[in-house]
Amino acid sequence: MRPRLIAMLLVLSSFNFLAEKGAPGENRTLYWQDFSVIARLDNDGRLHIREQQTIVFDGAWNGGERIFTVHPGQSFALGALYRTTAAGQQIKLQQGSLAEIDHWNWYGERTLRWRSRLASDPPFRNQPITYTIEYSLGKILSPTPDGRFSLSHDFSFSDRTGSIHRFSLELTADDAWEQDTFPVTIQRNDIAPGQGVVVTKTLVHRRGGPRLVYQKQPWPAGPVRITIPAAPAWLVILTGLSLLLILLSCSVSFFRHERKQGRFAAAADPAEINEHWLENHVFRLLPETVGAT
């Protein structure tokens, strides 16, 4: 009865998971009907972005997600997440349990998820829902040898399951930047999953350069990052020697113990192996012991 009970529990737990996530054969699709981005580069080199995404859900989707790309040395700060109703009203989503509609939270360090449908609700049927995400990115510019700054940023996100039917971008900059490059406007259609919209520009700062050093903002609801100062050299050497002595002591103790147990004794001469030898050394042992040996 016990194996049968375990199998039943596994089947029930799998059923609950599939009811929440959707069965493998279930027809679930989504795509971005519209993805519009308004971005502004401030005088200190921070990029402030407002994304308005209209996602069309079909099937038992729980909600949406946005995967951000933040390279080493860059910083990220989430401003707000909104849902736009059919009447045009913006409802601000709250951080909290993803079991509740209009709640958002982090899944890992770079994936933002929000709840759009309860598991008990009927599946979506080509339901468009518009969401707006406001966030900022810092230290995204790279200085060039001639005193200018290089921008290379994906204003979409390629790590998604659906295509983007219409994409638009309007990128402006504050007055400290040379305005010959701005505004940058892009419009594209039918961007397939795995593809992004990368803008690469070389920029000139009128005041010699932005204040690129500023307080790095941690990820919301993510793990706490603690900076540990470097240890003195003498402490590192002393710690290494102590660990080495402990390792040598353990090794000596191990070999002494094994030698007492006869682990290093010479193997038996094949000529000595007979029925009497087998009775004393093999057949008196349990079969599983012989097999393991």
Between 262 and 20, name the one with better pLDDT.
262
Residue 184 pLDDT: 95
Q: How far apart are CA 154 and CA 51, in angstroms?
A: 13
Residue 249 pLDDT: 92
Q: How far is CA 62 from CA 74, 82, 157, 229, in A?
A: 31, 17, 20, 43
Mean of per-residue pLDDT scores for the chain? 85
Least confident piece of the model among 7-21, 71-85, 117-131 = 7-21
- Look up residue 168 and give its amino acid: S
- Over 50: is that where the pLDDT of 35 sits? yes
Q: How confident is the model at residue 8 (pLDDT cuts 50, 70, 90)?
A: very low
Q: How confident is the model at residue 60 (pLDDT cuts 50, 70, 90)?
A: very high
Between 207 and 30, name the one with better pLDDT.
30
Q: How many CA atoms lie within 13 A of 153 on its CB side?
A: 28
- Over 70: is that where the pLDDT of 1 sits? no
Between 137 and 225, name the one with better pLDDT.
137
- Over 90: is that where the pLDDT of 135 sits? yes
Percent of the chain with pLDDT over 90: 59
- Over 90: is that where the pLDDT of 223 sits? no
Beta-carbon contacts of residue 262 (< 8 Å; ≥ 6 apart) = none
Residue 275 pLDDT: 87
Over range 92-109, report the average pLDDT: 94
Residue 26 pLDDT: 64
- Over 50: is that where the pLDDT of 12 sits? no
Q: How confident is the model at residue 229 (pLDDT cuts 50, 70, 90)?
A: low
Residue 288 pLDDT: 87
- Over 90: is that where the pLDDT of 64 sits? yes
Residue 277 pLDDT: 83
Residue 34 pLDDT: 97
- Over 90: is that where the pLDDT of 231 sits? no
Q: How many CA atoms lie within 13 A of 80 on its CB side?
A: 8
Bond into 183 cis (ω within 30): yes
Domain 25-203 bears CATH identifier 2.60.40.10:
no
Between 236 and 214, name the one with better pLDDT.
236
Residue 98 pLDDT: 93
- C-beta atoms surrounding 93 within 10 Å: 21
Residue 276 pLDDT: 87
Residue 128 pLDDT: 97
